[in-house]
Structure 1
Amino acid sequence: MKYLITAAAVSLTMAAGAQAEGLTHHVAIHVNQNDPQVMNMALNNAQNMANYYASQGDEVVIEMVAYGPGLHMLIPGKSPVEDRISTMSLELDNLTFSACGNTHRKMSEKAGSEITLLDEAVMTPSGVVRLVELQEQGYAYVRP
């Protein structure tokens, strides 16, 4: 019986130590609208989460996935949030922007030339598939 109490005490101590070190949260943010309000809300969500979790001693890893009309968020000269993306990427180490390869290919074909993306954007083969993959990896899903 003494051994069981000791094992339980060790488990509780280890759990408390893990909490003291802080947790890492994982969040996928979905942007599929060419709407400045939606894009700004998505960025606000990311900033607010980063601020909140930092105040709790936790970390947050955020991946913003843009596809369909939302890909305009990641196109230089067309993005209404280009400056915010640049600034936030410098301030938040764990923030990434994924661009849908399917949407990019279709937009480039329609334009007759390759559409340039912001330096902060990382191409993913499919935005929808990327969102599914992130959720399967335990990411929380947010759609502003």
Structure 2
Amino acid sequence: MKSFVTAATIALAFATAAVAEGETHRVAIHVDENDPQVMNMALNNVANVHRYYESIGDEVIIELVAYGPGLNMFVAGRSPVESRISAMSLEIETLSFAACGNTHDAMVEKAGTDVPLMDEAVVVPSGVVQLITLQEQGYAYVRP
């Protein structure tokens, strides 16, 4: 049996491609190491993912979640990537930063005083639970 490509088939293909444009993607990026190289790699992932999806006309929502030793990424005045986080949060509207409340509480207890976090970081009760919740909401998971 011969197969013919009709104008309707071609039009359907173009319509399908047009619907695919403008998709929204969701990505959770996880940092649990107090290593500037890992922190910078995570931020590189953020920048690269954002740049790629923007270039094809899609939106990407990115949440960077830090807990354990990785929470040092968000400690005001001590983060090795503080200025980069501040700049990226202004440049990428769909980027958010989640700081583990459990880890923060432990840091405060150990220090015996408040450990201020960067304004960009939003404290969530648990970094691990936040990652689970995001994945249940359809977020892709990335760990640099």
TM-score, normalised by the number of residues in structure 1:
0.88
Q: How far apart, in 2, do the equivalents of 1:75 and 1:42 lie?
A: 16
Q: Does 1:103 align with 2:125?
A: no
Q: How far apart, in 1, do the equivalents of 2:44 and 2:14 lie?
A: 37
Structure 2, unpaired ranges of 5+: 1-8
Q: How far apart, in 1, do the equivalents of 2:113 and 2:50 lie?
A: 37
Deviation per CA, 1:69-108, whole angstroms, max 9, x where unpaired? 0000000121000000000000000000000000000000
Q: How far apart, in 1, do the equivalents of 2:39 and 2:16 lie?
A: 38
Relative to structure 1, is the Cα distance of residues 37 and 110 closer, same or farther in structure 2, using a 3 angstrom cutoff? same
**Over aligned residues, Cα RMSD in angstroms?**
1.8
TM-score, normalised by the number of residues in structure 2:
0.88
Deviation per CA, 1:28-68, whole angstroms, max 9, x where unpaired? 00000000000000000000000010001011000000000
Per the alignment, residue 42 of structure 1 pairs with 42
Structure number with the higher helix fraction is 1
Q: How far apart, in 2, do the equivalents of 1:36 and 1:24 lie?
A: 30
Deviation per CA, 1:18-37, whole angstroms, max 9, x where unpaired? 223x1111000000000000
Structure 1, unpaired ranges of 5+: 1-7
TM alignment of 1:115-134, pairs within 5 A: 115-134=115-134
TM alignment of 1:1-144, pairs within 5 A: 15-20=16-21, 22-144=22-144
Q: Which amino acid aligns with 1:115?
A: V
- Aligned-residue identity in percent: 64
Q: CA deviation at 1:113?
A: 1.3
Aligned length: 136
Relative to structure 1, is the Cα distance of residues 48 and 13 closer, same or farther in structure 2, using a 3 angstrom cutoff? closer
Q: How far apart, in 2, do the equivalents of 1:16 and 1:57 lie?
A: 12
